[in-house]
Amino acid sequence: MTEQGGAQPRVQWVRVEEGDQGQRIDNYLLRCLKGVPRSHIYRMLRKGEVRVNKGRVDADYRLREGDSVRLPPVRVARPRASPGPPSSVLERLQEAIVFEDTRVLALNKPAGLAVHGGSGIEHGVIEALRLLRPKEQGLELVHRLDRDTSGCLLLAKRRSALRVLHQLFRDGGVDKLYLALLAGRWSRDKADVNLALRKSTLRSGQRVVRPDEGGKPALTRFRVLRLFGQATLVEARLETGRTHQIRVHAASLGTPILGDEKYGDPEANRWARNLGLRRLFLHARSLALTWPREDRPLRIEAPLNSGLEEFLKAL
């Protein structure tokens, strides 16, 4: 699988067990091919070196029990010792825990922290939490948030919980609410944006998401919470979970999110910066779900941090 020294790497075929059903193939490979950089994992998937049931798959393919996965021959250098994330980051994450039981752990993720390492980031939230919780062998991300987005981030503590949560997310069984501050003042109370989205890569190498009829279906429901002179605070309910969905859908209405350097309005962003906004104003406010065969729903909330609260007061 992954070998060092003089041993010759070789192709291996592994069978997916029940405990790995529902896991994305990229995350599965990162666990099986320890030490292989995330960028190399994705390159192997794009080139078709990884096969499932002898066929090519995309990085978001969900494994099924009994799948036969081809692991290509990979030679990796002996990993160098890593100093680990700064103690200040570990302390922030410990303080950011907003809910925990025997199945899940939820954070109010700070803006600026990636959820996982890769692309020049040695340690993300998941790597740091595994250092904080060395006895939690099954700790895994259930979903993702953009690096610049704060708020509710859910992690599973057991493989059985991860499978159930992945299914709930896929089937629309999780109510996801966000807060976003948009440039401009709305004259309506709500808006539903039903625009398919497609990811693409610019010549510069930058990845962007654009509305495209041939893309993946995406639906966001916006509702006005408060009007300011030059901005509108909205609640955004995600009916789907596409990359940059709220950001692109808000921009498509002509009212992009303040602080959005990729899809936003430069002039509006300068105005907001002069008033003290130093980040993207997008926050995952809450998650709500009901476990199978249980009647009482689980609702997890993450309050706005003081910086965003102060900015609203400044308006």
Domains in the chain (CATH in brackets) are 2-75 (3.10.290.10), 87-162 (3.30.2350.10), 172-314 (3.30.2350.10)
CB burial class (10 A; 0-12, 13-18, 19+) of residue 242?
buried
What's the rounded mean pLDDT across residues 115-126? 70
> Contact 246/180 with Cβ under 8 angstroms?
yes
Element (H, E) at 309: helix 306-314
How confident is the model at residue 269, as a pLDDT? 97
- Catalytic residue among 26, 67, 146, 265, which? 146
- pLDDT bucket at 82, cuts 50 / 70 / 90: low
Q: Is 26 a catalytic residue?
A: no
- Cα dihedral value 158, 128, 126, 137, nearest 10: -20
99: β partners:
106
> 34 is written with which tokens?
């320890």
Whether pLDDT at 80 is above 70:
no
Q: Which residue do the tokens 């104003």 mark?
A: 281
- pTM confidence score: 0.77
pLDDT digits (tens, 9 = 90+) for 93-104: 999 999 999 999
DSSP state of 62: B
- What pLDDT, on a 0 to 100 scale, did the predictor assign at position 106? 97
